[in-house]
Structure 1
Amino acid sequence: MNFTRTLFPLSMLLLSGCVVGPDYQKPETALPAKFSESKSASADNVTLNPWWESFRDKRLNDLVHQGMGENLTVLQALQRIEAAEANVIVAGAGALPSLGASASGNVSGQDGSYLRRTTGSDHSQSKSINAGLSASWLIDFFGQYRRQKEAANASLDAAYDDVNVARLAYFSDLVSSYVNARYYQEALALNRKNLVSRRETLKLTNEIKEAGAASSLDVLQSEGLVNQTLANLPALETGFHQAANHIATLLGVPASTITSSLLKGSAQPMPRYATRTGIPADLIRNRPDIRAAERRLQAATAAIGVAEADLYPSIELGGSIGAARNFNARVGSLSSWSFGPSLSLPIFNGGALKAQVKIARSEAEQQYLTWKSTVLNAVEEVENAQTALIRDYQTVAAQRKVVDTFDQTLVLARESYRGGASTILDVLDAERNVADARLSLAAAIRQLARDYVSLNVAIGGGSAIGTPAVVATK
């Protein structure tokens, strides 16, 4: 008998340390040693790098910091953290004992006279009070609640990473919109400059016509180029206002406040520093979407253990204490109590429990494939952005030379036209070439800035700036 009393608690202790289901292992996938157009050197932690400061644009820096705590998408992701924290508490509560209390009172009676009540009437009344206290504890023999808490903590970590994903999307959208706004302003300025130049050509053509050396056709051709330039302005103005309106939406402020501040104008943003991309393996550490996918894989792995725990018996320890008092009975009070374990054993359920385990394993495998796909897509994004950025610098440098060449060509064409050695068509062609070259340069600068944004976002740059501290109950 003493042997049994000793063996039973020990066996209970051993069982309570058992956790079914696979333990989480960090996923792996084959990655290249380096990106195709960079050195094989690991980069520092870029998640706290404010890469937009490389543009050296104070207005842009102010907008980024202004919107960091106002962007609605980021705020929504922050709210999901609170829900995930609550889920951790819910998951852990199942493994703890529960205690409940109840109380009730009752008064009943019979009266022979409803309208008149006298001491001699047929009248009786009964009063009673009941109170109870109950407790229960489901012993977590197979780690069901521990796996649930593990899954909840992993989901909480994923919620924090989702905030960083939203913040990266905000940085990308805001800075790209600012780049677009400044491009449209530059394009407007260039078209207005071209308009001045073409009006000068029109004036020159009219003067030469009055001197008898030009025809009405020359004047009409010059006038057509002026009108064509005027026709380009409204679309560019629309593009600027739309970019400014989108910035206002990202910041949650009235559009007029952003538009008025941007109308002062500024040079097109150009990055002043190169971006260190590191190696593909760095992305697993720096990209928040990869980290979030891994945390969801961990949660799905823990869910396998939760499903497997349902295949095994469960024991619940329960007890209750009750008290009742009837003021009209001969025995005024009565108390009762009970305590003991209850066993639940799954015997036949049509294979539903085993099917749940298969479903959990399939979902974990899907999460692994999602994680792997996220990693490979991240590598591709970095490769594409880096390749584009390298060639953007080459394009901008070449386009600057094109602008210089056509500027000189235009000067020579006007001098030749004044001297009668060439026609107005030569001047108009030269003006057209200059205008197109300047606009192409502005477009190339915009593309360079946008690809710089894409590259820094692709490596996870700045994603942890402003991230709240993780306070999860492990």
Structure 2
Amino acid sequence: MSTSLRTRISSLRYAASALTLLLAGCVSGPDHVPPQMPLPANFEEGGKKSNGHVVTAEWWTAYRDKPLDGLVTHGLRENLDVLQALENINSASANVTIAGAGGLPSLTVGASHTLSGEKGRLRTTVGTTNTSGGEASLSWLLDFFGQYRRSRESAIASLGAAYATADNAKLTFLKDLVESYIDARYYQERIALSQANLKSRQQTYELTQLQLRAGAASRPDVVQAEGLVKSTKSEIPGLQQSFTESAHHIATLIGMPASSLMGELQKRAGQPVFRGDLRAGIPADLIRNRPDIRMAERELAAAVADIGAAEAQLYPSITLSGSISPSWVKSSGASGGSLTSWSFGPSLNLPIFDGGTLRANVEIEKSDAKAQYLAWKAAVLNGVEEVENALTAVRRDTQTLEPLRRQVQTAQESLALSTTSYKDGASSLLDILDAQRSVSDAQASLAATVQQVAKDYVDLYVAIGAGYLEPQHVAAKPTTKSG
């Protein structure tokens, strides 16, 4: 072989390799780059230490409430919204296969057998023919410009968005369940306070009746005391109804009939009080931990990939197709024979005039990608705002607890003094009634604030994206050898 021929062969080999690499890397449209935006180093009322991954933090256990822990564990497995979101992952996973299938070879195989003939007037079969055949067809669209590769990228990004949507459903469930539980225990507390106040006011009413008989009280005093008793009685049914509604909602959230849960919730328990650390992390943590932000980022990635899929349709497409059809024919009275037909060849599809439809599709996808980027930015800013608001609420509401507790103590002391003074005839019934109202109002304010502070912590930990994934406890078992 001459040197010139060797050189030409070598050049052809390099050219073929270069063409293969070029076609393999020729993908239309931009590649997705994780979006970024400037964020403050810390929250206004937070520290500068990162939280790291808090997605497995079981923050609700800081309430130290065993019934609540059980409800959360059961609900994460049985909540219908969570189960629906998890099921959507299966659909999104199947879409990944469908999206990439167009760029892979397609092979179909078929077979047939027919019996044919003619019938005369004497109903005898004439010229019966048996025909057996088969067919195999192969088609392969050469994805030179990456239409199906981009479509598969979009489907994979949508699958990631489906996972994030399921995580967000879990986080939404946690917020709804824990806050509903806090509400239920608040109404129980209010019912208990109202029943205690009713007992106190009933005693005052009975004392006033005795004073009336002794001539130390007037009829209007008795009427006032009786009116306060009836007013207190009228509060209790509304509070009981609110408790029942909260209990019913909890049962719905965890996928249970209300009747099977009501008995457990009706057992008296104190209001939940958060006894954990105040951990907010830094704004940058939200991009990693909040599922709604991750969902928005994945939807942006899908939109960017769709641009490439749309641009690829502007270019020619080449399809390789072929078929082979063997058949065997046997007629009555004759020996059988076989026949095989086949075909193979490429086909070219070149878009020329489409009225601007294909380019308009590209512009639509570009606009969708821009909109998704703005949606991602909005999700980040909304997350920062929610954490800032939750931090402020926790700090401000917590500061009111101790003064309210002191106010309750002071009102109770004032009521005791007023009652003793009234019995001695040194004060009027109005002083007792005012003192009782002060006690009732102070107790109701304290219970409402305890409820709100407990909810503030829920808002904070949901806002930072904590607790929607179950921790994986991997225990290393020791290996032993016998013998």
Question: Do both share a fold (TM > 0.5)?
Answer: yes
The equivalent position to 2:24 in structure 1, one of 9, 16, 27, is 16
Tell me, in whole angstroms, the C-alpha distance in 1 between the residues paired with 2:113 and 2:354: 42
Tell me, in whole angstroms, the C-alpha distance in 1 between the residues paired with 2:431 and 2:159: 68
Q: What is the TM-score when the length of structure 2 is the normalising length?
A: 0.92
Where does residue 273 of structure 1 map in the other structure?
276
Where does residue 326 of structure 2 map in the other structure?
323
Tell me, in whole angstroms, the C-alpha distance in 1 between the residues paired with 2:118 and 2:345: 41
Encode CA deviations 1:340-371: one digit per residue, 9 max, x unaligned. 22221111111111111000100001110111
Where does residue 190 of structure 1 map in the other structure?
193
Tell me, in whole angstroms, the C-alpha distance in 2 between the residues paired with 1:264 and 1:365: 54
Tell me, in whole angstroms, the C-alpha distance in 1 between the residues paired with 2:168 and 2:319: 43
How is 1:24-35 mapped onto 2 (pairs within 5 angstroms)?
Answer: 24-35=32-43
Tell me, in whole angstroms, the C-alpha distance in 2 between the residues paired with 1:465 and 1:244: 25
Relative to structure 1, the CA distance from residue 164 to residue 107 in structure 2 (aligned partners, 3 Å threshold; closer, same or farther) is same
Relative to structure 1, the CA distance from residue 122 to residue 316 in structure 2 (aligned partners, 3 Å threshold; closer, same or farther) is closer
Q: Note the C-alpha offset of 1:67.
A: 1.1
Confirm or deny: 8 A CA contact 2:135 2:324 kept in the other structure: yes
The equivalent position to 2:157 in structure 1, one of 130, 154, 162, is 154
Tell me, in whole angstroms, the C-alpha distance in 1 between the residues paired with 2:144 and 2:22: 9
Confirm or deny: 8 A CA contact 2:160 2:298 kept in the other structure: yes
Counterpart amino acid of residue 451 in structure 1: D
Once structures 1 and 2 are overlaid, which stretch shifts more, 165-174 or 100-109? 100-109
Once structures 1 and 2 are overlaid, which stretch shifts more, 354-363 or 341-350? 341-350
How is 1:385-396 mapped onto 2 (pairs within 5 angstroms)?
Answer: 385-396=390-401
Where does residue 430 of structure 2 map in the other structure?
425
Where does residue 470 of structure 1 map in the other structure?
none
Where does residue 263 of structure 1 map in the other structure?
266
Where does residue 372 of structure 1 map in the other structure?
377
* Gaps in structure 1 of 5+ consecutive residues: 468-474
Tell me, in whole angstroms, the C-alpha distance in 2 between the residues paired with 1:108 and 1:45: 73
How is 1:19-418 mapped onto 2 (pairs within 5 angstroms)?
Answer: 19-113=27-121, 117=123, 121=124, 123-328=126-331, 332-418=337-423
Q: Note the C-alpha offset of 1:296.
A: 0.6
Counterpart amino acid of residue 104 in structure 1: S
Counterpart amino acid of residue 35 in structure 2: P
Where does residue 452 of structure 2 map in the other structure?
447
* Gaps in structure 2 of 5+ consecutive residues: 473-483
Q: Note the C-alpha offset of 1:331.
A: 7.2
Where does residue 472 of structure 1 map in the other structure?
none
Once structures 1 and 2 are overlaid, which stretch shifts more, 184-193 or 393-402? 393-402
What SS does the corresponding residue of 1:340 show, helix, strand or coil?
A: strand
Confirm or deny: 8 A CA contact 1:108 1:125 kept in the other structure: yes
Confirm or deny: 8 A CA contact 1:275 1:456 kept in the other structure: no
Encode CA deviations 1:255-302: one digit per residue, 9 max, x unaligned. 012110011110000001132101111100110010011011001000
Tell me, in whole angstroms, the C-alpha distance in 1 between the residues paired with 2:80 and 2:423: 61
What SS does the corresponding residue of 1:164 show, helix, strand or coil?
A: helix
Q: Note the C-alpha offset of 1:218.
A: 0.4
Confirm or deny: 8 A CA contact 1:399 1:437 kept in the other structure: yes
What percent identity do the matched residue pairs reach? Answer: 52
Tell me, in whole angstroms, the C-alpha distance in 2 between the residues paired with 1:317 and 1:123: 44
Encode CA deviations 1:293-329: one digit per residue, 9 max, x unaligned. 1011001000100001111111111211111222127
Tell me, in whole angstroms, the C-alpha distance in 2 between the residues paired with 1:250 and 1:232: 28
Tell me, in whole angstroms, the C-alpha distance in 1 between the residues paired with 2:292 and 2:59: 19
Encode CA deviations 1:71-118: one digit per residue, 9 max, x unaligned. 0000000100101111111122222211111222222222123xx54x
Q: Note the C-alpha offset of 1:40.
A: 2.0
Where does residue 465 of structure 2 map in the other structure?
460
Confirm or deny: 8 A CA contact 1:43 1:277 kept in the other structure: yes
Aligned length: 462
Counterpart amino acid of residue 452 in structure 2: Q
What is the root-mean-square deviation of aligned Cα atoms in Å?
Answer: 1.7
